[in-house]
C-alpha cells in the first residue's frame, strides 16, 4: 500500500512539473512570436554609418619628391593625355592641359582612366590643391586615384585625394585614406598651392575560378615621402554607403576621379607606374 501511494505521488508530481514546463514554454514561444511580429525593421544605411572621426592622425612635415626611374611606364609627363580615356565611354580624355599640368575638367565627361591595364605595380603621382580652394570637409579639393578601376563611375579601390591641411573631416575619408577603410598613419599634407605626391605599392586581389576571394588586396602608400599605409589589407572595393566587398577581376586600369564637389579643380603632373611580378 505504501509503495502504491509513493508511486502515485511521484506520478502526480511528474505530471504537474510537465504541465508547468509546457505552459512556460508556450508562453515563451508566444512572447517570442509577438516580439518577432512587432520587431522594428533595421534602419536604412546612411553614408555617416561608415564615417570615423577620431582619433585624428598626427601631423608631420613632408620632404621632397623624386623623378621617375628608368624602367617606369610614363602615364603623364605634361606633354599630352594620350595614355588616358574617359571611363564612361573610353573616348580620349579631355581634361585641361596647360604648362605641363593636367587639371580636372569638372562638369565634363567625368573620371578618366589609363588605356593600359595593370595587376601589381608601383605608382607615383603628384597633385596640387589650388591655392584659392574653398569649401570644407569632403567638399574641398576632393578627388581620388582608383588603384584598380573595375567599372564605370567610382567602381574600384580608391586612395583618397583631398585638402587635408587644416580641414576637418572623417579620418577614413581624409587625404591618403583608403576611402572608408584605411585611416592614414599620419597626416603629412602640404598647404594648398603646393605640389604633393603619392607613392603606392599595389598588390591586387587574387580570385579563385568560381569568383571567390583567394587572397585580398594590399596597399603600401607614402604621402609626401611619409609612410601612411603599411601593407594595409583591403576588405573589398570602395563604397560610399555600406560595407566593402570583393568582386572578381583580372587586370584593371588606374583611374583619376573628377569629383562633383563645388570647390576649385585640382591638378596633376608626373605620373608613372612600374609593373611588378
* Closest CA relative to residue 53, chosen from 139, 159, 138: 138
- Average pLDDT value for residue range 77-97: 97
For residues 58 and 97, is the Cβ–Cβ distance under 8 A? no
The beta strand positions in the chain, using DSSP E, are: 73-76, 84-86, 96-98, 101-103, 112-114, 120-128, 143-149, 156-161, 195-203, 206-207, 213-215, 218-223, 226-233, 255-256, 267-276
How does DSSP classify residue 59?
B
* Res. 104 pLDDT band, cuts 50 70 90: very high
Residue ranges and CATH numbers for the domains of the chain are: 47-276 (2.60.120.560)
Q: 110-168: per-residue pLDDT in tens? A: 999 999 999 999 999 999 999 999 999 999 999 999 999 999 999 999 999 999 999 99
* Res. 43 pLDDT band, cuts 50 70 90: confident
Q: pTM of the full predicted structure?
A: 0.80
* Res. 14 pLDDT band, cuts 50 70 90: very low
pLDDT at 36: 54
Q: Is the pLDDT of residue 35 over 60?
A: no
Q: Is the pLDDT of residue 219 over 90?
A: yes
How does DSSP classify residue 159?
E
* Closest CA relative to residue 162, chosen from 152, 187, 185: 187
Of residues 181 and 1, more confidence is placed in 181
pLDDT at 115: 98
For residues 229 and 220, is the Cβ–Cβ distance under 8 A? yes
Of residues 77 and 61, more confidence is placed in 77
- Polymer length in residues for the chain: 277
> Rounded to an integer, what distance in angstroms lies between the CA atom of residue 85 and that of residue 48?
33
The mean pLDDT of the chain is 88
Of residues 215 and 31, more confidence is placed in 215
For residues 127 and 146, is the Cβ–Cβ distance under 8 A? no
How does DSSP classify residue 24?
H
Percent of the chain with pLDDT over 70: 84
For residues 132 and 152, is the Cβ–Cβ distance under 8 A? no
Amino acid at each position: 500500500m505504501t509503495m502504491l501511494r509513493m508511486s502515485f505521488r511521484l506520478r502526480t508530481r511528474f505530471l504537474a512539473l510537465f504541465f508547468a514546463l509546457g505552459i512556460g514554454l508556450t508562453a515563451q514561444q508566444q512572447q517570442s512570436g509577438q516580439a518577432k511580429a512587432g520587431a522594428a525593421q533595421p534602419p536604412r544605411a546612411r553614408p555617416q554609418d561608415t564615417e570615423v572621426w577620431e582619433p585624428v592622425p598626427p601631423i608631420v612635415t613632408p620632404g621632397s619628391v623624386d623623378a621617375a626611374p628608368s624602367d617606369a611606364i610614363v602615364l603623364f609627363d605634361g606633354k599630352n593625355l594620350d595614355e588616358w580615356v574617359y571611363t564612361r565611354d573610353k573616348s580620349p580624355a579631355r581634361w585641361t592641359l596647360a604648362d605641363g599640368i593636367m587639371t580636372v575638367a569638372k562638369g565634363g565627361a567625368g573620371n578618366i582612366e589609363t588605356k593600359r591595364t595593370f595587376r601589381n605595380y608601383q605608382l607615383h603621382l603628384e597633385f596640387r590643391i589650388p591655392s584659392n580652394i574653398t569649401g570644407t570637409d569632403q567638399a574641398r579639393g576632393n578627388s581620388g586615384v582608383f588603384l584598380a578601376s573595375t567599372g564605370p563611375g567610382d567602381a574600384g579601390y580608391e586612395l583618397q585625394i583631398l585638402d587635408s591641411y587644416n580641414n576637418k573631416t572623417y579620418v577614413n575619408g581624409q587625404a591618403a585614406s583608403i576611402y572608408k577603410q584605411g585611416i592614414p598613419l599620419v597626416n603629412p599634407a602640404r598647404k594648398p598651392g603646393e605640389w604633393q605626391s603619392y607613392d603606392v605599392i599595389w598588390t591586387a586581389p587574387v580570385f579563385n575560378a568560381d569568383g571567390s576571394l583567394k587572397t585580398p588586396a594590399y596597399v603600401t602608400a607614402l604621402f609626401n615621402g611619409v609612410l601612411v599605409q603599411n601593407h594595409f589589407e583591403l576588405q573589398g572595393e570602395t563604397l560610399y554607403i555600406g560595407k566593402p566587398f570583393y568582386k572578381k577581376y583580372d587586370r584593371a586600369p588606374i583611374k583619376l576621379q573628377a569629383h562633383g564637389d563645388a570647390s576649385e579643380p585640382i591638378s596633376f603632373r608626373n605620373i608613372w607606374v612600374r609593373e611588378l611580378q
